[in-house]
């Protein structure tokens, strides 16, 4: 049986102790079924009790609409009594979606002196929990083992380990008919991430979910981490959100630098760093929930932090049956002036309420004159500008919810979840101008020559990489077609001339764009 590469590493991306000890233990074949290691300790060992507990966690998650198509979750792995409710936010976001493969990036908390370099791939055919068996994608695991000697089998990485296993019951309660690729991320040098990510990427498709298992700050003498002794809760929050900032920006180097500077002891830092290498260029992250055991127990002498972070990418559908409304002459027409005014007022009220009341959304009054068109589903973007400069812009291309709700959600997202900017505070609201773009259904075109600059928005897709520009972007920037496509490729994380490559897909759409003070 193949084993992991043994070596002495002089420089490890996040480890305080640089020495790595060679693997000497002779591995034995894994059983057909990998039995649950921590059932009855980290979560209920009884099927009924476990189902009831997770169902209760899901029931406590408020209604949420992901920004796009979910592709990855960072999820905690402590005992369910501490981290289960936080984890439920991430899994509720992917509940009942179609994923046939889940890549789990876990870790081994205590390897002792048997430190190894690389990724351990379980050789089991099934993983077992009180909810039943989960099949392992053996073909995919075999592909990884052939791809690089940084992948190998070291079953002790999964023995008596909870970081992977605690994710499994949540997956079983969220998805149907899926297989897992169980990976334990051991010690990695800075040069290991790219070849490992390159080996995993061919296994990622639209029906693949990635789960990175991690808790965050472990504070207290028990963890040997006491960087501050005053304002403990506030400082823990500051440490965690400093790390979240790097994660949401998909800033691999920034994550490394922040870890080295703060010595923050998030146990899953390596799985998270690897996840950042796997995410497509236009993936967008959002923090769904955050809590600490110190807050739960009202005792910060010893505290562990938990967060659910969801990554999504813009969802694209093939042209469907829906068509934009037309006026009597047959000319495409979205909204009346009254509807535009109502939507702008709704967005303005949302912005005021959200910034003034700690994230609250306005209550849509029954008296609000919602027209039938405002209740129809449209893609919609909300753009915030301050002094003529962009202050936030988030939306969704494919219709997925009533237009008026899309305006509410994307006003909130643009003001607080655009990773390029700090959240808007209440003092800024009066100086911000709101622009709304209501979109037609994206239509696939044969090539870039069919893209009409200034009139149409464009979305490109190649593999897992994609990016979009609204119709007004090229005009505002003064770009021609080639310049627009080059910038769009860079936004997608591709080379600027990738739009010329075979396999690139192009979609165009039009938009009704209107803003406070008149049409944009």
pLDDT tens, position by position, 43-70: 999 999 999 999 999 999 987 778 789 9
pLDDT of residue 65: 76
Two tokens, residue 296:
């739960």
Nearest to 342 by CA among 314, 312, 372: 372
pLDDT tens-place string over residues 452-472: 998 899 999 888 788 889 888
Does residue 519 carry a pLDDT above 60?
no
Dihedral angle over CA of 327, 328, 330, 334, nearest 10: 0
Higher per-residue pLDDT: 144 or 117:
144
**pLDDT band (50, 70, 90) for residue 96:** confident
The reported pLDDT for the residue numbered 18 is 32
Domain segments of the chain as ranges = 64-313, 337-515
Contact criterion met (CB below 8 Å) for 114 and 182: no
pLDDT at position 366 is: 47
CATH topology for 64-313 is Protocatechuate 4,5-dioxygenase; Chain B (3.40.830)
Specify the CATH number for 337-515; select among 3.50.50.60, 3.40.50.300, 3.30.700.20, 3.10.20.30.
3.30.700.20
The overall average pLDDT reported for the chain is 86
| C-beta of residue 384 within 8 angstroms of C-beta of residue 407 | no
Model confidence, pTM: 0.61
- Pick from 99-113, 251-265, 477-491: least confident: 99-113
| Between residues 319 and 372, the one the model is more confident about | 372
User: Which of the four pLDDT bands, split at 50, 70 and 90, describes residue 21?
Assistant: very low
pLDDT of residue 115: 67
Whole-number Å distance between alpha carbons of 364 and 369: 10
Q: Is pLDDT of 22 > 70?
A: no
Distance CA 84, CA 88 (A): 6
Average pLDDT over residues 406-432: 90
119-155 pLDDT per residue, tens: 999 999 999 999 999 999 999 999 999 999 999 998 8
Q: Return the pLDDT at 137.
A: 96
pLDDT of 183 > 90? The answer is yes
Q: At 406, is the pLDDT very low, low, confident or very high (cuts 50, 70, 90)?
A: very high
- Given pLDDT bands bounded at 50, 70 and 90, which one contains residue 337? confident
What local confidence, expressed as pLDDT, does residue 373 receive? 82
Q: With contact defined as beta carbons under 8 Å apart, do 383 and 434 qualify?
A: yes
Q: What percent of the chain has pLDDT over 70?
A: 86
389 contact partners, CB below 8 Å, separation of at least 6:
none
Q: How confident is the model at residue 5 (pLDDT cuts 50, 70, 90)?
A: very low
> What's the pLDDT at 364?
56
Q: Of 23-37, 269-283, 317-331, 361-375, give the range with the top mean pLDDT.
A: 269-283
Q: Residue 325's pLDDT is what?
A: 45
Q: Which residue has the higher pLDDT, 246 or 464?
A: 246
Alpha helices, DSSP H, located in 175-320:
193-200, 232-248, 252-262, 269-278, 293-297
Q: What is the pLDDT of residues 358-383, one digit of tens each?
A: 665 555 554 467 788 888 888 899 99
Give 170-180 pLDDT, tens digit per residue: 999 999 999 99
What pLDDT sits at residue 191?
Answer: 93
Q: How far apart are CA 185 and CA 158, in angstroms?
A: 11
Residue 26 has pLDDT above 50, yes or no: no
Q: What is the pLDDT of residues 479-506, one digit of tens each?
A: 999 999 999 999 888 999 999 998 899 9
* Per-residue confidence (pLDDT) for residue 359, from 0 to 100: 61
Q: How far is CA 378 from CA 322, 335, 518, in A?
A: 10, 12, 21
């Amino acid at each position: 049986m193949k084993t992991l590469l043994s070596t002495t590493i002089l420089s490890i991306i996040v480890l305080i102790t640089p020495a790595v000890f060679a693997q000497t233990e002779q591995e034995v074949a894994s059983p057909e079924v990998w039995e649950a290691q921590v059932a009855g300790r980290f979560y209920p060992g009884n099927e009924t009790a476990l189902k009831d507990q997770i169902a209760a966690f899901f029931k406590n998650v408020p209604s949420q609409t992901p920004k796009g198509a979910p592709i990855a979750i960072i999820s905690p792995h402590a005992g369910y009594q501490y981290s289960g409710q936080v984890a439920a936010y991430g899994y509720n976001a992917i509940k009942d979606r179609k994923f046939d493969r889940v890549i789990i990036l876990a870790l081994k908390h205590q390897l002792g002196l048997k430190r190894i370099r690389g990724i351990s791939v379980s050789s089991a055919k099934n993983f077992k929990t009180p909810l039943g068996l989960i099949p392992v994608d053996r073909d995919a695991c075999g592909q990884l083992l052939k791809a690089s000697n940084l992948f190998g089998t070291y079953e002790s990485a999964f023995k008596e380990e909870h970081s992977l296993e605690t994710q499994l019951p949540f997956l079983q309660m969220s998805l149907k008919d899926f297989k897992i690729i169980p990976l334990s991320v051991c010690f990695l040098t800075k040069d290991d991430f790219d070849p490992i990510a390159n080996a995993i990427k061919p296994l990622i498709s639209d029906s693949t979910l990635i789960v990175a298992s991690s808790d965050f700050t472990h504070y207290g003498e028990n963890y040997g981490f006491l960087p501050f002794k005053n304002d403990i809760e506030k400082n823990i929050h500051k440490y965690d959100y400093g790390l979240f900032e790097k994660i949401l920006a998909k800033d691999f180097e920034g994550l490394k630098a922040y870890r080295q500077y703060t010595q923050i002891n998030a146990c899953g830092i390596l799985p998270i760093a690897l996840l950042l290498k796997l995410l497509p260029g236009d993936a967008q992250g959002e923090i769904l929930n955050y809590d600490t055991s110190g807050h739960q127990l009202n005792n910060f002498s010893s505290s562990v932090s938990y967060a659910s972070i969801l990554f999504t990418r813009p969802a694209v559908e093939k042209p469907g049956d829906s068509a934009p409304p037309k006026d009597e002459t047959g000319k495409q027409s979205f909204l009346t002036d009254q509807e535009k005014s109502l939507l702008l007022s709704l967005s303005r009220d949302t912005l005021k309420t959200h910034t003034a009341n700690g994230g609250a959304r306005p209550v849509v009054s029954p008296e609000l004159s919602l027209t039938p068109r405002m209740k129809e589903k449209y893609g919609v973007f909300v753009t915030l500008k301050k002094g003529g400069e962009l202050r936030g812009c988030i939306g969704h291309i494919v219709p997925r919810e009533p237009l008026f709700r899309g305006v509410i959600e994307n006003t909130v997202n643009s003001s607080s979840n655009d990773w390029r900017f700090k959240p808007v505070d209440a003092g800024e609201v009066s100086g911000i101008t709101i622009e709304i773009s209501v979109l037609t259904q994206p239509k696939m075109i044969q090539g870039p020559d069919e893209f009409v600059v200034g009139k149409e928005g464009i979305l490109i897709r190649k593999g897992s990489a994609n990016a979009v520009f609204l119709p007004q972007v090229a005009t505002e920037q003064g770009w021609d077609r080639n310049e627009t496509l080059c910038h769009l490729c860079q936004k997608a994380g591709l080379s600027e001339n990738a739009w010329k490559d075979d396999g690139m897909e192009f979609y165009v759409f039009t938009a009704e764009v209107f803003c406070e003070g008149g049409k944009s």
